[in-house]
Copies of this chain bind each other. A is one copy, B any other.
Amino acid sequence: MLAMTVNIALKHEVDNSYPIIIDSLQKITLKTKVAIVTNPKVAGLHLAYLLEKIEASEVYIITVPDGENYKNLESLNIILEDLFNHRFNRNSMLIAFGGGVIGDMTGFVASVYQRGIDFIQVPTTLLSQVDASVGGKTGINNRFGKNLIGAFHQPKAVYIDPHFLKTLPKREFAAGVAEIVKMAVTFDKEFFEWLEKNDIHDEELMKIAIEKAVKTKAWVVAQDEKERGLRAALNYGHTFGHVIENETKYTKYLHGESVAIGMTMANDVACELGLMTQDEAGRIKKLLEHYALPTTYDIVDVELFYETFFLDKKSSDSSITFIIAKHLGGVVMRDDIDAELIKKVLTTYKES
């Protein structure tokens, strides 16, 4: 079995590098009070398995409802209250046990509880294993959009155990594949071509893909921990995707699914700009569709869709920065794309 450790070394702060361990979970010994933050579904499926591995002075379980709709200030406060009730202190530790929602929210709680305590991530979905496990982004949603309130807070360690993926619904698996495809398209043509040839439903191939995606993301984040430059490239597909999630109130699509649509839209823009050929855009679409990922979306109101970009945090005062894949394995950030060109592409998605 492939077992690997990716060490995330961050330049910005000296004391917050951390290991990502891709392997069956081994014994984790913690000499502190620990709270495992999870949701009822993950707890039912996998908590016994996790608890077998955790050794700590005291262990508490905190569950919050499943889903993006509950990734908000109220849930944050519920977790905080639980921690205060159980007298957690600055030496205590949180374990985020679930998908991206649990990871983002637990990380944010850890960042603000008594001005910052440690946390560990045990991601249980493919998406959170390849995406949320690297980067230190934490946060919650509000009525204005997704991840609009948050912090950069690095975990002490990330444990990626393929065991958890056995119970993952097909759609959620595919949503994780979308982020893997994203990394390949923007940074690694060879990896993209490998993905075209290898179906990562196979467990051994999947582990190789996870390793590849995590390493690529780790490299990007190490260049730019606070998202001022290169790291924005990771938002390929996300600028469009966030609007879609916002419009559909986080209920219709999984995050990775909306990113799949978003990448397709971004590729159409790339074609218009001459940065990508129709053939390349078609190959990406084909790969996404092979995993049953959506690549179309019915836009009701093009103007409203366009306007919603400005609520997204990646936009700045008067322009929106679009992340556009350049052929295969390349990426550019463009804040000078004509609104009409974007709207022209959006119109091709208009509800007929």
Contacts and interface: CB of A to CB of B under 8 A. Distances in A.
A152 interface: yes
B89 A315 contact: yes
Interface in A52-88: 57, 73, 77, 80-81, 84, 87
Interface in A105-160: 111-116, 137-139, 142, 144, 147-152
Interface residues of A, number: 41
A310 B33 CA distance: 15
Interface in A255-273: none
Contacts of A151: 111-112, 115-116, 151
A112 B149 contact: yes
Interface in A220-254: 226-227
B317 A142 contact: no
Contacts of A144: 84
A91 B317 contact: yes
Contacts of A313: 89-90, 114-115
Interface string A200-226: 000000000000000000000000001
Nearest to A149: B112
Contacts of A137: 115
Nearest to A57: B317
A84 B142 contact: yes
Nearest to A114: B313
B115 A152 contact: yes
Contacts of A315: 89
A102 to B, nearest CB: 18
Contacts of A114: 148-150, 313
A264 to B, nearest CB: 27
A311 interface: yes
A227 B13 CA distance: 16
Contacts of A73: 73, 77
Contact of A87 (B32, B90, B311): B311
Contact of A91 (B15, B91, B316): B316
Given A13-B13, A142-B84, A152 B116 contact: yes
Nearest to A147: B115
Interface of A: 12-15, 32-33, 57, 73, 77, 80-81, 84, 87, 89-91, 111-116, 137-139, 142, 144, 147-152, 226-227, 310-311, 313, 315-317
20 contacts: A12-B15, A73-B73, A84-B144, A84-B311, A87-B311, A89-B316, A90-B313, A91-B316, A111-B151, A112-B149, A112-B150, A113-B148, A114-B148, A114-B149, A114-B150, A115-B147, A115-B150, A115-B152, A115-B227, A115-B313
Given A89-B313, A112-B112, A115-B147, 12 more contacts: A12-B15, A81-B142, A89-B317, A90-B316, A91-B317, A112-B150, A112-B151, A113-B148, A113-B149, A114-B148, A114-B313, A115-B313
